[in-house]
Amino acid sequence: KAGVTQTPRYLIKTRGQQVTLSCSPISGHRSVSWYQQTPGQGLQFLFEYFSETQRNKGNFPGRFSGRQFSNSRSEMNVSTLELGDSALYLCASSLAAGVGSSYNSPLHFGNGTRLTVT
Amino acid sequence: AQSVAQPEDQVNVAEGNPLTVKCTYSVSGNPYLFWYVQYPNRGLQFLLKYITGDNLVKGSYGFEAEFNKSQTSFHLKKPSALVSDSALYFCAVRDRGSGTYKYIFGTGTRLKVLA
């Protein structure tokens, strides 16, 4: 079974531009979440989607947005890029079927997209 | 506020010695607890989780973790470290009490196993 696929692997953008990152979850996984990883801050939760609906949102500005499609694939968009947005962005999927016990399903991570803003 | 603390940025241990990577948490309810490992230039991989029941849970690659409710800790352990265990380890909690079920990660601990 194919793992979580994130594209592209690397991106270099200029301050002020916008960027879209893509994530294809493991087949059958309906929950997709996004994280920002930086050396000093560890993993910061961005948002989680389930069945095309945003289920949870982290403490990031509105420049960060996402969506999920009917095939569970997800995209994350960052507008008006700032230097501080440079990070590794990780997508994860899980076999969450809804509420309750599905919340203890482990996350399966992609290898990430490394975004550099200059 | 909900939080996860990994007090050590780096842990060094000699190969063959036991290792412990510490994690404490502060959440409002009874959390689900997880450990993940990240190898260089890779995404995170699930190691183990605690849901309920036995306080000692066993996971992949010979790792285990001990849940201590009174100390709100979930330390990762391995009886005999291997050089290949060298990686970045993250503790995470999923808070059931708040109703949001958000994932909260620690800042990570870099484990270095010396040959």
Please compute Rg for chain B using Cα positions.
Answer: 14
Chain B neighbors of A4, CB-CB under 8 A: 43
Please compute Rg for chain A using Cα positions.
Answer: 14
Tell which of A107, A108, A111, A114 to mutate to test the B interface (max B CBs under 10 Å).
A107
- pLDDT, tens digit (0-9, with 9 covering 90-100), for A33-72: 999 999 877 899 999 998 899 988 889 999 999 999 999 9
Query: Other C-beta atoms within 10 Å of A99: how many?
Result: 11
Mean pLDDT for B38-57 is 89
Q: Compute the distance between CA of residue A104 and CA of residue A85 in angstroms, rounded to an integer.
A: 30
B17 to chain A, closest Cα gap in Å: 27
The pLDDT of residue A99 is: 54
Task: Determine how β-strand A42-50 pairs with β-strand A53-57.
Answer: antiparallel
At residue A108, the 3 state secondary structure works out as: strand
B82 to chain A, closest Cα gap in Å: 24
What is the DSSP code string of B32-90? EEEEEEE-TTS-EEEEEEE-SS-SEEE-GGG-EEEEETTTTEEEEEESS--GGG-EEEE
What is the DSSP code string of A29-74? --EEEEEEEETTTEEEEEEEEETTEEEEE-S--TTEEEEE-TTS-E
Is a pLDDT exceeding 80 seen at residue A93? Answer: yes
The structure tokens 């607890």 sit at B33
At residue A85, the 3 state secondary structure works out as: helix
Could you tell me the pLDDT band of residue B101, with boundaries at 50, 70 and 90?
Answer: confident
Is a pLDDT exceeding 80 seen at residue B109? Answer: yes
Q: What's the one-letter identity of residue B24?
A: T
